[in-house]
Structure 1
C-alpha cells in the first residue's frame, strides 16, 4: 500500500479474521478453565478493537488533505483501552475470602491491545504476543500450581448444635491438619424441623477463614468436621 491512509477490502478482511483467531485462542483457554469471560467475549473484544483501530487510521482518510485538519491515528485507541478497563473490572469478584478474576481481566485488556495492534498492521507483534500470552496462561499456570504454590484462604461454614467444647474441638482439628485460623465468626441461629410442629432448635452458625499451603481437599475436611458431635451442615470452599 503506497498511500498510508488507504487500505483495500482484502487487507481489512485479513486483519479482522486474524483478530478473531488471536482473540479466539486466548478466549478458548479462558473458556476451558471455566472463567466468566470466555471464547466469545475475547473474540468480540479483539474484533472490536481491530475495527476501531482500522476506523481510527483509515476511516477519516478523506479529510487528510483538508486545511486545518490534523489526523491522529491513535485518538480512538486510547478510548478503547479505557473502555476495556471497565469491562475487565466486571470479571473481578470479591468472594469474601479472596479476589478472583484478575487474570481474566488482564487477558481481556491484553486481547484489546492485540486487536489494536492487528488493526494497525503489526501482525508479527500480535502473533508473538498471542503465543506468549498462551504460554503464560497455560504453561506458567501449571508451573505456579506445582512449584510456587502459596498459602491460600478457604472458607468453612458449619451449622451445629450449641454444644460445649464445639469450638475447642474444631480449633484442635484444624490445627492438627495444618490450617491457620485467620477469622472466626459465630452467630446464633434457630431451626424448625421441616414439616413438624416443634419448638425451634437453637444452634450456631460458624464461619471460619483458614489459611493453608497444603492441598485443600474439601471432601476429606468435611468428613472430619462431621465427625465432631452436633454438626448438622458443613460447606468448604
Structure 2
C-alpha cells in the first residue's frame, strides 16, 4: 500500500495537538474555544432559558444550533452542519430535566484547516459542560480520511481532505466521569453516536476507520476530562481565596 506523506510530518494514526479554553464569553452561560492546531471553533451555550410558542415543549428542553461561517452568509453546508450537530448533542443532553425551556448552541468557525465538524462537536461538548447543562456522557469526535490507495489518515488537514478519496467524521459517547457535576452516572463501552461520510470508501475501509477513530476518541475524551478537572481545581482555588 502506497503511503501518503503528510505535510506536517505526522504519522497516519496521529491526530493534531489539542487545545481547549472555557469560560471566554462572559455573557454566555458556557463557552469553549477548541483547536486542533489550525482548525479552531468557538462555541457558546445559552440556557436553559424560558421559551414560548412553537419552541415550548412541556416534556423537554428544545435544542437549537446556529452555525456561523468564518466569513459571509451561511449557506446549505452550514444548515446541514447545524442539523448534524443538533442531533449529535441532543443525544447527551438530559432535556427532560428542563421542560418548557430552550438551549441554544452558537458555533463560530474561527479557522478551518480540516476536520471542522469533529472540531465543532468537541467545542460544543466542552461548552455544554462549562454551562452546567445536565448531560449523560461526554462526546469525542475524530475525522478519518481514506486515500485512493486505501491508507487511513486520522484528523486530515484541509489540504489532505482535498486530496483523499473519502473521509468520515465519527462521534463517540464516552462513559461518564465523576468529575462532571450534574451528569448521570452510567458506565460501559464507548458508543458511536454520529457517522457522517463524504466520498466513497469500501466496507473494510470504513470498519478500519471505525476502529482507529474509536482509539483516537479515547485520547480526545481523556483530554476533555483533564481540561474539566483543571478548570474545577482552578475554580476551587479561586473560591477558597475569595472566602478567606
Q: Which has the larger radius of gyration?
A: 1
- Same-fold call, TM cutoff 0.5: no
Structure having the higher strand fraction is 2
The TM-score normalised by the length of structure 2 is 0.24
The TM-score normalised by the length of structure 1 is 0.24
